[in-house]
Structure 1
Amino acid sequence: MRKGEDGSLRKIFRISVVSGIFGQIFSILAGSGSAFLTKFAILLHASPVHFGLLAAIGQVSQIFQPIGALVTKRRTRRKGVVLTLQFVGYAIAVCFGALPFLFPNHQAINIFLMLFFLSVSILSIANNAWIGWISDVIPHRVRGRFFSTLSRYMMIIAVGTGIVCGLFIDSFKAPVNNDAVANASVFFRPENLPLGFMIIFL
């Protein structure tokens, strides 16, 4: 029985770590307060009002957290609900990168803000449901180790994602004078920045 319990806990550990890694990548690239979203909004010619809405959406989305408790209150198996909500929230963010190619800037920025609000609101619900799920399946005796391991992985992923993607986006600069370097870097031109964002949001 103990072996079965330990095997189940290891499986939950793996699922939670993978889920946490994806969540951390999302948070860095497309979550509330992301520097990449600010840069993306600049690309879409956002106005001060748009930037104000972008900053406020992350806070407003927190009011939906109680829904997570209501959704999972009467469910004995919460994993499916949590993973489904997380998948939907992350999938919406994938659409961000396509907006500059589908709409003019004045429409793209408004659609972006609506999609962002929808994404972070769903993930706010998912985060609350995740706490309920973890509280049910992780015993107190290993809960500290679980959160310690999860936090360690998430910190590493956060630093790595921020540095790598930051360098990638910053590479889209004006051509340099050196022709050889300019030709080698033909992809990294300012006009290709929307394509760069499409890549990181994928």
Structure 2
Amino acid sequence: MKKSTFLGSAVSVLLLFSVISYSKALIQQQNPKPNQQAAQVPAQTSIDTVVTTDAGTLTASTERPREVTPTAAPIEEKAIASETYTATAYSLHGRTATGVAPAMGMIAADPRVLPLGSRVRIDAGSYSGEYIVTDTGGAVKGHRIDIWRPTTRDAMRFGRRAVKLTVLELGGKRRNTARRPRTVSVSPASSAAPATAKPQKN
């Protein structure tokens, strides 16, 4: 009884492997075009163990290489747990700390907490969304942020409130903002001292 149960399970395992290999062959025939990314990456090989039955015993034998086509894994965003920040709004025009003109979707933050270039998600009612840290401020220290708004009226309407902030991607270090030394271009006419001829006494 045990021998027939064992033999039956061995046969069912063999049938399962044959069905899987047949379905793979059928899928490959239906989709003859290989993935373009798979064509660029060299194929890797792995080892399949072929199971054979010999006189009622289950043995593993004959290893044969099988090509494995790599699949592109989806990129996952590793979000840091959301924290509570104190948010205000501002409406200044000019240039931000990163050198770009302010626009919707930009915030000012303490670069020691949220480096410039960081991408964050803010939960603040109708102001919720993804923002990029592009500016700093003298009063923006620690867990405080300043959301840029196009008008002073919008900034006043926002007021001061507690918001949930989730870091999606930390930015790099603050870029080097050292200025080049000023160079003065001198024209040849102005560089030469005017030569005045003194009359010689005879």
Of Structure 1 and Structure 2, which has the larger fraction of its residues in strand? Answer: 2
TM-score range relative to shorter protein: under 0.3
Higher relative contact order (CA 8 A, sep 6+): 1
Q: TM-score, normalised by structure 2?
A: 0.22
Q: TM-score, normalised by structure 1?
A: 0.22
